[in-house]
Every structure is written in structure tokens, then in C-alpha cells.
Structure 1
Amino acid sequence: MFTGIVEIMGTVSEYNKKDESESGGSGVSITIQDASSILTDCHIGDSIACNGICLTVTEFSSDSFKVGISPETIARTNVADWLPGNKINLERAVSQEVRFGGHYVQGHIDTVATIVSIKEEGNSLVFGFKLRDSQYGKFIVEKGFICIDGTSLTVTQVDGDGTFYIAMIAHTQHVVVMPLKKIGSLVNIEVDLTGKLIEKQIEVSLQNQFNDSHSTLNKLIESLIDQKVKQYLNK
């Protein structure tokens, strides 16, 4: 679990598409350096959010760490676009001592979005985004939480076509990667877990009531049908 409060920006130093080493597992691995300040208490198997993706440390030194990348992660995220030299937002998993300044972030990316606009507004930058997978738009609401490249942000506006916006204050601009990106760049999106949980609970509740012929919902439907039939017969 994470908070979406980025600790530092690391740098991609190596992108190995077939890492034959034990720590690479004969798969895709990425090594990220300039990370010394978050590795003082690191252990093999720890989780670190890298641009919002919860990844497992398979090897580390005093300044860098390696993570394995699954095909699912490549399909869901912008990790395929990472290149050596790219800056990456980094956050360790929460501990009991961490103040919860952002929101509950799993590090499980739902989809990616394209930056479609960047506009200065006072000392803030207003970014506009368009989702690749529109089905996640129902979880993005004005003043709701969203995690973009691992940064906890507040949605300021949602247009009718699904474009949504965030405003980034001057402080945040200096500590996260987004201001380094351009229009057309992809960002990782994790929508607020609360919305997904509520949708699932409603779906299960409705299905259970449909399956129970004596449920309140089924009785209400039967009553409405009876009323409509009577209205039709009385015409």
C-alpha cells in the first residue's frame, strides 16, 4: 500500500528485455539508480512504487535497485516507453510511522492516459488527460482522488467527452516527473479504489436480489409490472 506522496525521483539506468540473471528471472528487468535515500532500509522482496507501479525489488545496492516486469505490467502501463535516463517517481510502501498525506494507493495500475493539454494558471500547471480505456472514466469525478504516475492528485474538472484535469502547485512541479513530460506523453492511471469497491458491492447486492424471488427488489419490480398491466387494461 502507498500514499501517492512521491519521495524522490530516480533515474532508469538499465532496461533489460531478457535478463538471464537470477534476479532477472529470464524476463524483463529494469534498474533504477539515484535512489540511495529510499534504500537505507531496503530488503529483497520489498515493494517500491515506480511511476505508480507496485514493483518488487529483486536486487539492490546503496544507490540502485532492480525490479522485474511482467507481461501484464507491460500491457497495462507506460513501462514499455521507459528509456535509460528517464526520471521515475519513487515511493516506498507505507510503514506504521508514515503520515498518510495522500490517499490509499495500491500501485495496481488500471490503464494509461495521454496528456492532451498543459496550461499555466498562476503558479500552477493545469494538465488535461484522455484515458486509453474509457470504461475507467466512471471512477473519475470532480474533486475525487486519482493517482497519476504514482502522484496523489485531485481531479479539478471532467469534460463531457471524458477529458479530465488536475492542477499541480509549484512545490509538486519540482518533485515529480510530470512537468518533464510533453503533450502526447503517456501516464499511468490508478483510479480511486473506493469507487471500484462501491460498484462491486452494488453489483453483487443487485445480483443477489435478482436471484431471490422473495427479495425486496423483486417484489418492487412485480408491483410496478402489476401497476402497468392494470393501467394498460383499464385504457
Structure 2
Amino acid sequence: MFTGIVELIGTVAEYKEYDTTHSGGGGVSVTVKDASPILGDCHIGDSIAVNGICLTVTEYSSDSFKVGISPETLRRTNVASWQPGSKVNLERAVGQDVRFGGHYVQGHIDGTAKVVSRVAEGNSIVFGFKLHEKEFEKYIVEKGFICIDGTSLTITKVEPDGTFYIAMIKHTQEKVVMPLKTVGDEVNIEVDLTGKVIEKQVVLQLQEQISNEHSPLAILVDKLVEAKVKKFLSK
């Protein structure tokens, strides 16, 4: 679990593709350097979010760490655009002594979005985004949380066509990779898990009510239908 509060900006040192006969199954391995401030307590198998993607440390040194990335993750994220020299947001999995300053972030990317606008507003930057996966637009709500490239942010506005906006203050600009993005670039998106959980519970509850003819919902629907039929026949 993560908070979306980026600890450090690292640099991709190596990006290596596996062939399909490798145990990585056609995925890639990535080595990230300039990471020494977060590696003091690192162990093999630890989770580190790299641009919001929860990845497992397979090797590490005093300044760098290596992770393996599966084909599934490649399909859902912007990893394919990384190359040596690319800057990435880094956050270790939360520990017991971590203040929860962002929001609950799993590190499980839902999909990507394109940067469609970038406008300076005072010392802030307002970014506009458009999701590639339209099925996740229902979880994008004004003043709701969203995680973009591993950064916990607040949605400031949502357009009818699904375009949404965030405003990034100067302090955050200095701590994350977003200011390096230009219009047309891709970013990783993890929508707020809360919306997914609520939707799932509502759907399950409705399915249970509908399947039970004695449930309060089924009885209410029967009464409404009966009232409508009576009204129609009385005409």
C-alpha cells in the first residue's frame, strides 16, 4: 500500500526487454538509479512504486534497484515509453511510522491518460487529462482523489466529455515528474479505490434484492407495477 506522496525522483538507468523464452515471459527489467535516500532499509522482495506502479525489488545496491515488469503491466501503463535517462517518481510501501498525507493507493494502475492541456495559473500549473479507458471515467469526480504517475492529487474539474483537471502547486512541482510532461505525453492513472468498492457493494446488493421475490426492493417494484397497471386500466 502507498500514499501517493512521492519520496524521491529517480532516473531509469537500464531498460532491458526479455525475449519470450525468458522467465519474464516477454516483459522487461528496469534498473532505477539516484535512489539512495530510499534504499537504506531496502530488502529483496520489497515493494516500491515507480511512477505509481507497485513493483518488486529483485536486486539493489547503495544507489540503484532493479525490478521486473510483466507484459500485463506493460499493456496497462506508460512503461514502454521509459528509456535510460527518464525521470520517475518513487515511493516505498508504507510502514507503521508513515503519516498518511495522500490517499489510499494500491499501486495497481487502471490505465493511462494523455496530457491534453497545460496552463500556468499564478505559481501553479493546471493540467488537463483524457483517459484512454473510458470505463474508468465514472470514477473521476470533482474534488475526488486520483493518483497520476504515483502522485496523489485532487480533481478540480470534470468536463462532460470526460476531460479532467488538476492544479499543481509550486511545492509539488519541485517534488514530482509531472512538470516535465508536455501536451501529448502519457501518464499512469489509478482511480480512487473507494468508488470501485461502493459500486461493487451496490451492484451485489441490488442483484441480491432482485433475485429474492420477498426482498424489500422486489416488493416495492411489485407495488409500483400494480399501481401503474391499475391506473392504466382505470382510464
TM-score by length of 1: 0.97
Could you tell which deviates more after superposition, 208-217 or 26-35?
Answer: 26-35
Shift of 1:18: 1.4
Identity between Structure 1 and Structure 2 (%): 69
- Gapped runs of 5+ residues in structure 1? none
| Partner residue, 1:227 | 227
Which ranges of structure 2 fall in alignment gaps of 5 or more residues? none
- The correspondence of residues 67-86 of structure 1 with structure 2, limited to 5 A, is 67-86=67-86
Deviation at 1:48, TM superposition (A): 0.2
Pairwise mapping of residues 104-115 of structure 1 onto structure 2 (< 5 A)?
104-115=104-115
Q: State the match for 1:120 in structure 2.
A: 120
Asked whether the 8 Å contact 2:24–2:70 carries over to 1, the reply is: no
Q: 1:26 to 1:230 in 2, by over 3 A?
A: closer
Give the whole-Å Cα distance in 1 for the aligned partners of 2:156 and 2:53. Answer: 24
Name the SS of the counterpart of 2:198 in structure 1.
Answer: helix
Find the residue that maps to 1:4 and give its secondary structure.
Answer: coil
Post-superposition CA distance 1:178-232 (Å, at most 9, x none): 1101100000000000000000000000001111110011001111110111011
- CA contact 1:23–1:58 (8 Å) conserved in 2: no
User: 1:41-52, aligned counterparts within 5 Å?
Assistant: 41-52=41-52
Change in Cα spacing, 1:110 to 1:25, as seen in structure 2 (3 Å) is closer
What is residue 211 of structure 2 aligned with on the other side?
Answer: 211
Q: How many angstroms does 1:23 deviate by? A: 9.6
For normalisation by structure 2, the TM-score amounts to 0.97
Report the count of equivalent residues: 234
1:120-199 residue pairs with structure 2 within 5 A? 120-199=120-199
Q: What's 1:16 paired with?
A: 16
Query: How far off its partner does 1:19 sit?
Result: 7.5
* SS of 1:117 mapped into structure 2: strand
Stretches (4+) displaced over 2 A: 22-27
Amino acid at match of 2:104: Y
Partners of 2:142 and 2:89 in 1: CA distance: 24
State how far apart, in whole Å, the 1-side matches of 2:27 and 2:222 are: 57
Question: Alpha carbons of 1:93 and 1:23: their partners in 2 closer, same or farther (altered >3 Å)?
Answer: farther
Q: CA RMSD in A?
A: 1.5
SS at the partner of 1:203? helix
Deviation at 1:52, TM superposition (A): 0.2
Q: Secondary structure at the match of 2:18?
A: strand
* Matched residue type, 2:204: V
SS at the partner of 2:94? coil
SS at match of 1:14: strand
Do the aligned partners of residues 11 and 19 (structure 1) sit closer, same or farther apart at CA in structure 2, a change above 3 Å counting?
farther
Q: Secondary structure at the match of 1:99?
A: coil
Whether contact under 8 Å (1:19, 1:29) holds in the other structure is no
Given that residues 28 and 68 in structure 2 are in contact (C-alpha distance below 8 angstroms), is that contact kept between their aligned partners in structure 1? yes
